[in-house]
Amino acid sequence: MMQRRAFIASVASAAAGLLAPRVLAAPLARMADAEMRGPIDAIAYRSVPGSSDIKSGKLQAMIDTAARNNRPLFLPPGNYEVSNLTLPDNARISGVPGASRLVYGGDGHLISADKAKRIELSGLVLDGGNRWLGDYAGGLLQFAGVDQLLIDNCEIAGSRKHALRLERCGGRIERSHISGAADAGLYSVQSAGLTITNNSVEDCGNGGILIHRWAKGEDGSIVSGNRIARIGARDGGTGQNGNGINVFRADGVLVSGNRIADCAFTAIRANSASNVQISGNQCLRSGEAAIFCEFEFEGATISGNIIDGAANGIAVANFDKGGRLASITGNIVRNLSPTGPYPQESGFGIGISAEADTLIADNLVEGAPLWGLKLGWGPYLRNLVATGNIIRQAGIGCVVSVAEGAGSAIISDNLFQQVEKGAIIGFLWDKPASGDLAATGSSAFPQLTVERNRVA
């Protein structure tokens, strides 16, 4: 037994001696030869917070070097006064949120980039100081042709034009605070798979988040979970300015879960934008229509939104320009005002209006001084169904066009309560043309089906 134990111990010792160097030596050798990579620190390159870098170009050189070597650039806390930075492909700049500040020194723009695959900015304050921007500059920060633009946890403030202007860009803008832009907080044209989520956009002169295209076409941007407040219409107009979220000519855009308050015109405006989805948003105290789909569009779903305070609630309009095909379901619209920002033929204080190929179902409208539902306008009515809605505290519960050329509509199974001038009235343009159809029936208008409505 002793000899056997000694033999086994000697074999184990020899095996350990043979194997240990092979297991340990190779990793140690690789570790010794490896370059220890990490972010480039701005202080190491003599870009000192508190000093101006407008003319020296130190920060620009650091950005170029870091991008060329595939390394991120870290800006320690402090103020860096800079102008006209150009970001190359693969530029990645980060800082300490709220403390690493790039302050625009004037003479053009703050940051721009053109034709890059990937650019990242995170944890930075980008302060325009309300200083003059060059005529060529569309915004304090402007990016064109960036496949993946990633802006996260940044603050962008004090731009004399747009805060952030994007052209032909994809990527994500998220968790950032944009404020004090004279034009829009974020203006994007020709997006390429852009996601704008969980941002705060406040106190901007002409718009909040704008998704536009030069010509009507597929866009596919997602705008979700943002807080937008106090959007003005500094340049006036009848709706081109003053919108929290504005989708123009961009098809296939999703607008969901946003909280939008105190816009001079519309909380969410889709102009000539087909296949738009507007769902689960809170729209508070809008100066005009809270949600507006207008002009040449086909396909819109407007569902599960809460609208409290507006001149009009939800409007799906402009069948004369090709606006058609919508579903308006499960929304709450309340506390509307008869006063709007400009004169309008039909007036303000309307809960929900639509004109062609539209379902209006299971909505609740309360407090519409003029009309709860508006179905069609003059001859612009085709294939409307209004069913299962609750209309309370309205001047007229539902008006439906009976003008020459108006098409078919079904008004059924709705509940009307406290409707001052009637539940369902036929209109010739802006003039009443019938008694209360909820009581008398619609036999005089064979294009209408009015049945099983209840007036409480």
Domain boundaries, position 131: 41-181
pLDDT of 19 above 70:
no
The total number of residues shown for the chain amounts to: 456
pLDDT of 358 above 50:
yes
Residue 79 domain-assigned (yes or no): yes
Shortest CA distance to 86 belongs to which of 49, 121, 112? 112
DSSP character for 305? -
pLDDT of 45 above 50:
no
- Residue 39 is predicted with a pLDDT of 73
Instruction: Provide the 10 A C-beta neighbour count for residue 261.
Output: 19
Number of structural domains (the chain) is 1
Q: Picking from 16-30, 168-182, 292-306, 316-330, which range would have the lowest pLDDT averaged per residue?
A: 16-30
Instruction: Provide the 10 A C-beta neighbour count for residue 163.
Output: 27
Give the separation between CA 106 and CA 99, rounded to whole angstroms: 21
Instruction: Give alpha helix (H) positions in 367-445.
Output: 437-440
Q: For the chain, what is the radius of gyration of the CA atoms?
A: 30
pTM over 0.75: yes
Q: Where are the beta strands (DSSP E) in 9-76?
A: 40-41, 73-75
pLDDT of 102 above 90:
yes
Q: How sure is the predictor about 31, in pLDDT bands with cuts at 50, 70 and 90?
A: very low
pLDDT of 24 above 90:
no
- For the stretch 115-135, pLDDT in tens is 999 999 999 999 999 999 999
Residue 391 domain-assigned (yes or no): no
- Strand 356-361 and strand 268-271: the pairing is unpaired
- Residue 101 is predicted with a pLDDT of 97
Residue 84 domain-assigned (yes or no): yes
- Residue 51 is predicted with a pLDDT of 60
pLDDT of 253 above 60:
yes
Segment 300-327 shows an average pLDDT of 97
Segment 242-260 shows an average pLDDT of 98
**Cα dihedral 41/127/201/209 (nearest 10):** -90
Q: How sure is the predictor about 344, in pLDDT bands with cuts at 50, 70 and 90?
A: confident
Residue 102 domain-assigned (yes or no): yes
Can you read off the two tokens belonging to residue 54? 């407008």
pLDDT of 110 above 60:
yes
- Residue 50 is predicted with a pLDDT of 64
- Residue 43 is predicted with a pLDDT of 63
Farthest CA pair distance, the chain: 117
Instruction: Give alpha helix (H) positions in 130-199.
Output: none
Cβ proximity of 39 and 33 under 8 Å: no
Segment 170-179 shows an average pLDDT of 98
pLDDT of 216 above 60:
yes
CATH number, domain with residue 62: 2.160.20.10
Cβ proximity of 162 and 183 under 8 Å: yes
Residue 126 domain-assigned (yes or no): yes
Three-state SS at 95: strand
Can you read off the two tokens belonging to residue 56? 């020296």
Average pLDDT, the chain: 91
- For the stretch 402-438, pLDDT in tens is 999 999 999 999 999 999 999 999 999 999 999 999 9
Residue 122 domain-assigned (yes or no): yes
Residue 80 domain-assigned (yes or no): yes
Return the higher-pLDDT residue of 416 and 344.
416
Residue 13 domain-assigned (yes or no): no
